[in-house]
């Protein structure tokens, strides 16, 4: 049997959720914010209208269940996140949650009973939050939310534990994983590609085969600052000239991995030169993990889009 989802309805849902945004700032619904909670309220209403059994788990994840014929079997889970970074994209996270919801609606409307329960999920705070931690809801599921992390504070002084309570979770149950391996039969997440490959190659969809692993390193080059006009080339210790060779080598080596099965990219994205003056031989160069615009990470395993302390 072939059943089509309701494309227009899915699109309308995406447009509707986009209306829950900070004034004058499209697609901005930071986790734990009043705007996020309003968006969640709307989402919850959609889950209920779709006939799903709705709950917010202890980790603050919004779940909607479409019960299957054999509720004792591990369910099929699908979803993503409804929180955004500031000025996030139209589809990031949202597409995954609303597509899963649309699948549930379609199953229900067509009276299709699945063997297993189908769960639509909106994970709490996938993006870095004001508590300095990302992937809060998924951490709760896997038991990666330590007592320490629950005490992280937001600029308003509240703790993450309090934030989780505020979205309907229960932080006192988070001292152990909410799920064990095997509790889920399969997980499917539709996600926007946050890069240009599919569009460039005109591919309609890509299937994820590997999850990216990120390593960041700090490097410092120590030379000696000298007057550039009076210091002969053979007795200089130019830190920037050395750093430039490393930057070029990193780039050249990464290029060699292009189109290889074990794909790799490498970037030197930030350097600080001292004293950074046109008439002084550079005495020191730091290539740092630090990112100017992002907030500090508070945990070793925080999101890639925060600034390592």
Residues that bind Zn ion (CB under 5 A): 92-93
Task: Check if the beta carbon of residue 131 is closer than 8 Å to that of residue 153.
Answer: yes
Residue 238 burial (CB count, 10 A): 20
Tell me how far, at minimum, the Cβ of 2 lies from Zn ion, in Å: 29
Q: Which is nearer to Zn ion, 92 or 122 (CB)?
A: 92
Task: Check if the beta carbon of residue 193 is closer than 8 Å to that of residue 206.
Answer: yes
Q: Which is nearer to Zn ion, 40 or 116 (CB)?
A: 40
Q: Which is nearer to Zn ion, 192 or 246 (CB)?
A: 192
- Using alpha carbons, select from 257, 295, 258, 287 the residue that is nearest to residue 271: 287
CA separation for the pair 167, 190 (Å, rounded): 24
Tell me how far, at minimum, the Cβ of 272 lies from Zn ion, in Å: 31
Tell me how far, at minimum, the Cβ of 134 lies from Zn ion, in Å: 10
Q: State whether residue 139 is helix, strand or coil.
A: helix
278, burial (CB in 10 Å: exposed 0-12, middle 13-18, buried 19+):
exposed
Q: Which is nearer to Zn ion, 93 or 282 (CB)?
A: 93
Task: Check if the beta carbon of residue 247 is closer than 8 Å to that of residue 266.
Answer: no
175, burial (CB in 10 Å: exposed 0-12, middle 13-18, buried 19+):
exposed
Q: Which is nearer to Zn ion, 96 or 223 (CB)?
A: 96
Q: Which is nearer to Zn ion, 97 or 178 (CB)?
A: 97
């Amino acid at each position: 049997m072939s059943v089509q989802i309701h494309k227009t309805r899915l699109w309308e849902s995406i447009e509707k959720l986009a209306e829950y945004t900070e004034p004058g700032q499209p697609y901005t619904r930071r986790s734990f914010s009043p705007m996020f909670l309003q968006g969640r309220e709307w989402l919850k209403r959609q889950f209920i209208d779709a006939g799903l059994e709705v709950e917010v788990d202890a980790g603050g994840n919004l779940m909607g269940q479409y019960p299957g014929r054999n509720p004792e079997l591990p369910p099929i889970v699908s979803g993503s996140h409804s929180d955004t970074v500031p000025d996030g994209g139209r589809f990031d996270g949202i597409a995954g949650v609303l597509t899963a919801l649309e699948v549930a609606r379609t199953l229900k409307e067509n009276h299709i009973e699945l063997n297993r329960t189908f769960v639509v999920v909106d994970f709490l705070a996938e993006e870095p939050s004001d508590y300095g931690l990302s992937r809060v809801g998924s951490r709760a599921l896997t038991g990666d939310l330590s007592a320490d992390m629950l005490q992280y504070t937001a600029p308003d002084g509240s703790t993450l534990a309090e934030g989780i309570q505020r979205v309907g979770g229960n932080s006192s149950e988070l001292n152990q994983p909410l799920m064990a391996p095997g509790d889920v039969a399969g997980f499917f997440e539709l996600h926007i590609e946050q890069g240009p490959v599919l569009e460039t190659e005109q591919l309609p969809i890509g299937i994820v085969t590997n999850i990216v692993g990120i390593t960041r390193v700090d490097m410092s080059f120590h030379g000696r600052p000298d007057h550039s006009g009076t210091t002969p080339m053979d007795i200089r210790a130019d830190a920037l000239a050395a750093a430039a060779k490393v930057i070029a080598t990193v780039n050249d080596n990464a290029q060699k991995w292009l189109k290889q099965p074990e794909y790799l990219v490498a970037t030197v994205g930030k350097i600080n030169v001292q004293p950074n003056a046109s008439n002084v031989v550079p005495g020191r160069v730091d290539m740092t993990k630090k990112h100017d615009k992002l907030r500090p990470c508070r945990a070793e395993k925080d999101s890639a889009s925060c600034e390592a302390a």
